[in-house]
Structure 1
């Protein structure tokens, strides 16, 4: 949950790319039969490939014992069935073994599928081997395969290698068209390699006709990655000049860019510039959504700007934009971190009253924060609300709370939670020894909770008093200077002799 459930911006770009030319969409060839109804031979092959016992040579020797009739589509079925469980190198060895046995009977589409599977698992060596074999054998690389390979290589920091494949698409019998150009531009921009992307666009202007809007979105996202607000705004202006109206995605990308930049370089301008972008959005009849406000609230939370976070939250509701559970999470989080536990709990209650059902991550993170600031009582209350929502996934919370309570000396409450978890069938990772007072060392706080809250309030009040005192001293100094100047004007010194 980076930047608090940060949206997968690059995933959105890839989705847009995939909608450009439906004819390049790949239909999975995996078997639709349930595992229990699949042929016994197929099940055995899958178990051998997915097994982690034995080396790669052992895998190949076991595969050689099978007498099942191997087909191109069967290879794809096995890859599809095993890709989530089997180690990448076992998948590669199985495919190379299949390739050796099938030889020319292995179809190009199945070869392409194998490359995509290994690319999605981010194994650069495996990608290099299969891409090289595909080129040597004169097979056709599909545009979809190129897009997945380019994206993976750029993510692995091999943007030059991805660009090299793009420059030699003719050797892979892959068409150089709007789909492949958009794919490489999207991949490069996803990691902020704008200069290379702009070079591709400049050399292939004739290939991007009809997909200019997608290209602009890619560039906008690329500048956002670099946190270059000036260039991001320039892209917005170029879109308008070209007759392409920026949509909600474009403005949210610009908003994210400006907020992230101001968070580091100009915190005082964070809210004002973000609200200016939202005002611009409304002028084009694009209403800011909860995602737009969450971008700003996330940055305010990082800066611990509680008052402004609360103001933005209220302003959001006043403008008719309904907060989602992520919005509540962002505000509650900063309230808990600043010691405003009662107000944070009230906001959680408000969220529940609105009928919003948060994700498990909401409770995981907030309970972790409360335990971190030694407010286990509030953490237990929040956990009760989580159980009331019937979300499931309680194991990590039990594993956090039980040792925490034991270290605080509350062994009885920890035992209750342990018994409760066992009764619910929850698998616990913490050992039962933690419940033994003779094993677990108890750390008692030097001050109780109420005393700490009083000290915190006094510290806050003392800070305010210091600020007021400084302001008063500054005003007094200014007044004294003004009086001196007036006296000098009334009684000028005669310097004549």
Structure 2
């Protein structure tokens, strides 16, 4: 612990000296630290690299890498990002590209900032087309929802330099923003692309509509659908199923039924996802016989029910109180080798609703895989049954499994323990939660 703290103090000292342009003193501080047994780490060398790049030049900063390797310390992505930033400041495009290639050779994965720096360098040397190609071919194609905000920032950076993106770029960005649940930003981009003279295509409309429904902005989603209709766009099967699913969630059965009838009338060949939508609609209306008939029709057409099909049916059976049939269907689903996690969750919820809490606990113990929803359902229902100690044990197990329980469940358990025992016991359990989170998050 002392060594780690001492290295941290050494890094702070070197960073301060570098900011004051006293690089020789920073080097002397590192040598003194080594003499005292305080070994520098990658942060120490990265700090020196930044200082040399900023006040001396790129080559001086790059030379520090050789000293790092001699000391047995490998450069990381921060090391190369600092060097790429230095190359960009001096418009050294070839060196910037060299650093990126060297990262690949060393097995270091460039991050969003590496590509951002490369794009910025390309823009500075007057190559906006190449910058856009980096953005489109590398960042957009490999983007995950957690990177969406960064990608949007790079997108704005391109726009500030006068580059007008194509509709395909907007579509990819809108889709990623939708996956990240950033509805307002999606709608802003949708309006923006129209103002810039782009014509949204079927993919644009369908993606925006999906985002509206996913974020529970049903009115706006239906308005997008009607706009598609007014402008004469051909609706694909996915568009219809998206609208029907939203109408079902709103409880507008009549309208959903009309769309289903129209979809069948115009001759769409339904896929399994479409049948799942219809089966779900029947289950929610309590028409389980119709739901099973639809599954038979799908199988006669050469389609096979997937895990979503069977989960929908199990959930429908549980909602109707047909627990025994739901159990048999769940067993059948397991025999077919499907992932049954969501189906188990539906079954446990159904058992809890009809008061079979002990049976639900048996099912829980038999499950190979559990998620936070599995734990939350049982904790919530155990609290309702005033079985707070058992709920407390499950809540701790959830945290120890690396999952994040609902705050409402934690409050309910703590309040229940205070009620059946004492505030001191509740406080002791609160401390257990805190310690478990520290160890397992």
**The TM-score by the shorter chain falls in which range?**
0.5 to 0.7
TM-score (norm 2): 0.52
1:167 is matched with 229
Deviations 1:132-171 (A, max 9, x none): 357x5457x363x443212123332223323224436755
Judged with a 3 Å threshold, the aligned counterparts in structure 2 of structure 1 residues 293 and 113 are, in CA distance, closer, same or farther, namely closer
1:310 is matched with 358
In the alignment, does 2:211 pair up with 1:148? Answer: no
1:216 is matched with 275
Shift in Å at residue 255 of structure 1?
3.6
Judged with a 3 Å threshold, the aligned counterparts in structure 2 of structure 1 residues 325 and 178 are, in CA distance, closer, same or farther, namely closer
> In 2, distance between residues paired with 1:385 and 1:162?
46
Judged with a 3 Å threshold, the aligned counterparts in structure 2 of structure 1 residues 258 and 92 are, in CA distance, closer, same or farther, namely farther
Q: CA contact under 8 A between 1:182 and 1:208: conserved in structure 2?
A: no
1:52 is matched with none
> In 1, distance between residues paired with 2:432 and 2:237?
54
In the alignment, does 2:95 pair up with 1:34? Answer: no
Aligned to 2:286, which of 219, 229, 247?
Answer: 229
Structural mapping, 1:293-442, within 5 Å: 293-298=344-349, 301=352, 305=355, 308-314=356-362, 322=368, 324=370, 327=374, 329-344=376-391, 358-362=401-405, 366-373=409-416, 374=418, 375-377=423-425, 380-381=428-429, 383-384=431-432, 387=435, 391-393=439-441
Shift in Å at residue 44 of structure 1?
9.4
Aligned to 2:133, which of 73, 77, 83?
Answer: 73
Q: CA contact under 8 A between 1:83 and 1:91: conserved in structure 2?
A: no
Deviations 1:432-480 (A, max 9, x none): xxxxxxxxxxxxxxxxxxxxxxxxxxxxxxxxxxxxxxxxxxxxxxxxx
Mark the runs of 5 or more structure 1 residues left unpaired by the alignment: 1-31, 46-62, 263-269, 394-497
Judged with a 3 Å threshold, the aligned counterparts in structure 2 of structure 1 residues 43 and 33 are, in CA distance, closer, same or farther, namely farther
> In 1, distance between residues paired with 2:190 and 2:395?
50
Superposition CA RMSD, Å: 4.9
Deviations 1:260-283 (A, max 9, x none): 5x6xxxxxxx4xx23333334556
Shift in Å at residue 122 of structure 1?
0.9
Aligned length: 310
Judged with a 3 Å threshold, the aligned counterparts in structure 2 of structure 1 residues 35 and 93 are, in CA distance, closer, same or farther, namely closer
**Which has more helix, going by share of residues?**
2
Shift in Å at residue 121 of structure 1?
1.9
> In 2, distance between residues paired with 1:93 and 1:388?
42
1:279 is matched with 328
Q: CA contact under 8 A between 1:290 and 1:323: conserved in structure 2?
A: yes
Q: CA contact under 8 A between 2:318 and 2:326: conserved in structure 1?
A: no
> In 2, distance between residues paired with 1:238 and 1:287?
22
1:238 is matched with 294
RCO higher in structure (CA 8 A, sep ≥6): 1
Deviations 1:277-297 (A, max 9, x none): 333455686689453343243
Deviates more, 1:148-157 or 1:159-168: 159-168
> In 2, distance between residues paired with 1:164 and 1:41?
42
Shift in Å at residue 322 of structure 1?
4.7
Deviations 1:392-412 (A, max 9, x none): 44xxxxxxxxxxxxxxxxxxx
Q: CA contact under 8 A between 2:323 and 2:351: conserved in structure 1?
A: no
Shift in Å at residue 218 of structure 1?
1.6
